[in-house]
């Protein structure tokens, strides 16, 4: 028995929602081929698209860990699998690369085991993959990669995940500059304490973004795509950050911020045509200082 599963990249944080907001895009993404085998144990037989950088050791691989934790939970540790991982997305890009692998792995395993768990119930195992990859079991990449659409993590303990509707003309432009930022490092530089006034500003934007998506109100979405807590610390990790953000707005974006822990940036726009223009403007801005980048445009639903 064998299955092929694709899990998409994701934009986590979405400006104001550090560790609590994320949405899935159509591509890029990861593909896993999983096959049951007679003997116990997970064997990673092949990883492509990673330039040989990802560990074949199951205990260090996000997909391997996620499947192991899942099998332990359902009491089927003796079930063996051969796993092939095909990465069609950059590592360390801020697009949820480790999350997509974990999600594809655990989803594939659940299908082959006859679906004992629901899709929602698979989330904690994919989160364990994240813990291995970057030291924290955040769900704002695995959540949307697994469930699709725009996700709110209202609570981590207990886990309370909400999927909300998004306006039909909302598009994301993503630019991935060819520099690397490690999520663990990008979390390490964050301020551990914030002031009351900063908290109030951020809460206003969080509420505004959710309301803007649901109403829908594109202008409100744009006004709310502001992050006064995380972005100021992380912007220094991305050369040209302010200029690329400004270029996105000039090209018509509603707003722009860092995708996950960076270095990718995302912008939201009304309509695909503007989103394409915005993506090109962001790419051109990076090119001005000699930084190559890839762009992706996707609807946000
Ligand atoms: N919320 C996480 C962070 C996402 O910003 O560190 C990492 O991709």
Give residue 16 CA to ligand 1 midpoint distance, Å. Answer: 12
Q: Among 137, 142, 183, 237, say which to mutate for ligand 1: greatest number of ligand atoms within 8 Å of CB.
A: 183
Active site residue 166: no
Please, which pLDDT band fits residue 184 given cuts at 50, 70 and 90? confident
Q: Assign 67 to helix, strand or coil.
A: helix
- Torsion of the alpha carbons at 114, 116, 120 and 126, rounded to the nearest 10: -80
pLDDT above 90 for 136: no
Active site residue 130: yes
Mean of pLDDT values over 133-162: 94
pLDDT above 90 for 153: yes
Q: Assign 150 to helix, strand or coil.
A: strand
Please, which pLDDT band fits residue 90 given cuts at 50, 70 and 90? confident
Give residue 18 CA to ligand 1 midpoint distance, Å. Answer: 7
Q: Is the pTM of this model over 0.90?
A: yes
Give residue 274 CA to ligand 1 midpoint distance, Å. Answer: 27
Q: Out of 10, 31, 128, 130, which one is annotated catalytic? A: 130
Q: Is 44 exposed, middle or buried (0-12, 13-18, 19+ CB in 10 A)?
A: buried
CA-140 nearest atom, ligand 1:
1
Please, which pLDDT band fits residue 67 given cuts at 50, 70 and 90? very high
Please, which pLDDT band fits residue 135 given cuts at 50, 70 and 90? confident
Please, which pLDDT band fits residue 91 given cuts at 50, 70 and 90? confident
pLDDT above 90 for 52: no
- The pocket around ligand 1, CB under 6 angstroms, is made up of 12-13, 18-19, 94, 96, 138, 140-141, 183, 186-187, 260-261
Q: If we measure between CA atoms, which residue out of 184, 124, 139 comes closest to residue 17?
A: 139
What is the per-residue pLDDT across 222-281, written as a single tens digit (0 to 9) for each? 999 999 999 999 999 999 999 999 999 999 999 999 999 999 999 999 999 999 999 999
End-to-end CA distance of the chain: 32
- 255 and 274 Cβ atoms separated by less than 8 Å: no
Give residue 19 CA to ligand 1 midpoint distance, Å. Answer: 6
Whole-number Å distance between alpha carbons of 301 and 290: 33
Please, which pLDDT band fits residue 180 given cuts at 50, 70 and 90? confident
Q: If we measure between CA atoms, which residue out of 121, 161, 157 comes closest to residue 141?
A: 161
């Amino acid at each position: 028995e064998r299955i092929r599963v694709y899990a998409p990249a994701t934009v986590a944080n979405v400006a104001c929602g550090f560790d609590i907001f994320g949405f899935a895009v159509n591509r890029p993404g990861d593909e896993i081929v999983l096959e049951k085998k007679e003997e116990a144990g997970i064997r990673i037989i092949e990883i492509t698209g990673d330039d040989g950088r990802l560990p074949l050791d199951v205990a260090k691989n996000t997909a391997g860990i996620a499947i192991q934790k899942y099998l332990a939970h359902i009491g089927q540790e003796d079930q063996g699998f051969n796993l092939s991982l095909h990465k069609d997305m950059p590592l360390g890009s801020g697009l949820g690369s480790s999350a997509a692998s974990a999600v594809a792995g655990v989803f594939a395993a659940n299908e082959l085991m006859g679906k004992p768990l629901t899709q929602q119930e698979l989330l904690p195992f994919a989160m364990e993959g994240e813990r291995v990859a970057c030291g924290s079991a955040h769900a704002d990449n695995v959540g949307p990669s697994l469930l699709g659409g725009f996700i709110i993590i209202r609570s981590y303990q207990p886990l309370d995940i909400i999927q909300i509707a998004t306006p039909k003309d909302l598009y994301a432009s993503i630019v991935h500059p060819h520099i690397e930022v490690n999520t663990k490092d990008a979390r390490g530089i964050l301020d551990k304490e914030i002031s009351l006034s900063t908290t109030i500003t951020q809460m206003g934007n969080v509420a505004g973004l959710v309301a803007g998506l649901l109403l829908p109100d594109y202008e409100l979405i744009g006004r709310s795509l502001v992050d006064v807590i995380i972005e100021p610390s992380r912007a220094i990790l991305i050369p040209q950050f302010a200029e690329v953000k400004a270029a996105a707005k000039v090209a018509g974006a509603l707003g722009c911020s860092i995708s996950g822990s960076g270095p990718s940036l995302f912008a939201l726009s009304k309509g695909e045509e503007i989103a394409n223009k915005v993506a090109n403007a962001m790419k051109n801005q990076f090119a001005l200082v000699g930084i190559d980048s890839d762009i992706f445009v996707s609807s946000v639903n």
